[in-house]
Amino acid sequence: MSDFGSSYPPPPSGFPAPAGRVVRSAMWPRHLISVAFAFVATPVGIVLFDYGASEYARTRAYFESDGSGSGSELVLMFAGGLILLTVAATGRLSGLGPVLAGFGWALVPLLWYLIDLPSFYDATQELPSNHFWFPAPPYLFGLVALLLIGSGIAGRWRGHVKQGS
């Protein structure tokens, strides 16, 4: 007999004891952090990448440079791409941020470009700079939309991390 008055023997020690109930914390802070970061960082990444790519093309192609420049354009492109990848990585925290940023900062401008090209270029030329912004919107906005929306959706079906072994 066991200590509890049962005639059944205790289970063998090779089996793990049942785990206690796992209590999940509130989910709204991670969604809020993901959305806030994505909406702030996405336009920064897009602008850095676009400016670097445009200056690289202008310097190398239009002025027939031999490629012996400072390389600052490539650094800007790399920094913009790294920021966009960081936004995509927040899909692991919450898929809501990259999906909303992908819709708001990439898919909407892409659809605007496809639906009303003259007003798109009129608006982009009103930006406070003498730089010709977004010379290739289908490539830039299309790829950013796919990156962010795809990472947000993939982050939604992430696996659960095991709690200590």
Q: What is the mean pLDDT of residues 77-99?
A: 94
Which residue ranges make up each domain of the chain?
29-156
Q: What is the three-class DSSP state of 66? A: coil
Contact 138, 115 (CB under 8 A): no
Q: Is the pLDDT of residue 165 over 60?
A: no
What global pTM score does this model have? 0.75
Q: What is the mean pLDDT of residues 1-10?
A: 63
Return the C-alpha torsion angle 22, 23, 29, 31, nearest 10: 50
Which pLDDT tens digit goes with each residue over 93-133? 899 999 999 999 999 999 999 999 999 989 888 887 777 78
- Give me the amino acid identity at 146: L
